[in-house]
Amino acid sequence: MNSKLYLVPTPIGNLEDITLRALRILKEVNLILAEDTRKTGVLLRHFAIPTRMQSFHKFNEHRKVSRSIELLENESKIALVSDAGTPSISDPGFLLVRGCLQHNIEVECLPGATAFVPALVNSGLPSDRFVFEGFLPHKKGRAKRLEALKMEDRTIILYESPHRLVKTLNQLKEVFSKDHKVSVARELSKIHEENIRGNLEEVVDYFSNAQPKGEIVIVISPVL
């Protein structure tokens, strides 16, 4: 069987961060499944890649999995990309990978961009052991999750949207020790990249007076 699913990381900001192999795969596959075809279209046009696209996002993922597996069983080669970073990391991908493996379809994930790695390394907080939590629950289970993380002895990594950042930082301040160190990274690899470091109170004060924009990664020190 010549079919294969490729998970292809795409730049989180700077288009120069895409790998040569990723560009080759995107040109060679029969189809690109994209979380947002408009955003991926910008990338494809920039690198003159003519491969056709179909949407594959959290609202149509369940019904698209079966169709994608049918195409792969007919010896297609398909690339899955998210808006930015590595597919399946807080983005669609898990269901398709699981389905492919259940049908003995080969899956290959290329190494490449993901936002939490540079945020962690650049934070100055311990990076030998860490836990990636992704996005916290919006409502149900949020308080319970925060309480569980309070005594975590590994560095904690969260994703957050800019309009919820201050609320989340305040909730962290209520649950965690005031001495917990935190680093908030935004717009990684872009012109306005910013890394704000300090204790929770200092970082809350900063973002309460500076409305953040862009993708956000919060890195929190382990319990002291």
Q: Which residue, of 53, 74, 109, is where some domain finishes?
A: 109
For residues 10 and 78, membership in a common domain is answered with yes
For residues 102 and 126, membership in a common domain is answered with no
**Contact at 8 Å (CB) between 37 and 51?**
no
Which residues have C-beta within 8 Å of that of residue 23, sequence separation ≥ 6? 47, 49
For residues 98 and 120, membership in a common domain is answered with no
* pLDDT for the residue 178: 76
Of 136, 130, 128, 155, nearest in space to 224 by CA: 155
- CA gap 204, 191 in Å, rounded: 23
For residues 120 and 175, membership in a common domain is answered with yes
- 81: three-class secondary structure by DSSP: strand
| Residue 197's CATH number | 3.30.950.10
Q: Which residue, of 69, 90, 109, is where some domain finishes?
A: 109
For residues 135 and 198, membership in a common domain is answered with yes
| Residue 71's CATH number | 3.40.1010.10
Question: Quick one: how far is CA 72 from the chain centroid?
Answer: 25
* pLDDT for the residue 124: 96
**Contact at 8 Å (CB) between 98 and 62?**
no
Q: Which residue, of 75, 109, 143, is where some domain finishes?
A: 109
For residues 213 and 142, membership in a common domain is answered with yes
For residues 193 and 96, membership in a common domain is answered with no
C-alpha triplet 189, 87, 162: angle, nearest 5°:
50
What strands lie across the sheet with 181-186, from one edge to the other?
Answer: 130-135, 155-160, 216-220, 181-186, 194-199
For residues 105 and 147, membership in a common domain is answered with no
* pLDDT for the residue 224: 63
Rounded to two decimals, the pTM is: 0.91
For residues 79 and 143, membership in a common domain is answered with no
* pLDDT for the residue 139: 84
Q: Supply the range of the domain harboring residue 164.
A: 116-220
Domains contained in the chain, number? 2
For residues 104 and 127, membership in a common domain is answered with no
For residues 104 and 135, membership in a common domain is answered with no
* pLDDT for the residue 184: 98
Mean pLDDT by 10 residues, the chain (224 residues): 92 96 98 96 97 93 91 94 95 95 97 95 96 92 92 95 94 88 96 94 93 92 80
**Residue 199, φ and ψ in degrees, nearest 5:** -85, 175
For residues 17 and 54, membership in a common domain is answered with yes
- CA gap 84, 214 in Å, rounded: 12
Q: Give the pair of three-digit tokens for residue 187.
A: 């717009």
What one-character-per-residue DSSP string does 123-183 give? HTS--SSEEEEEEPPSSTTHHHHHHHHTT-SSEEEEEE-GGGHHHHHHHHHHHS-TT-EEE
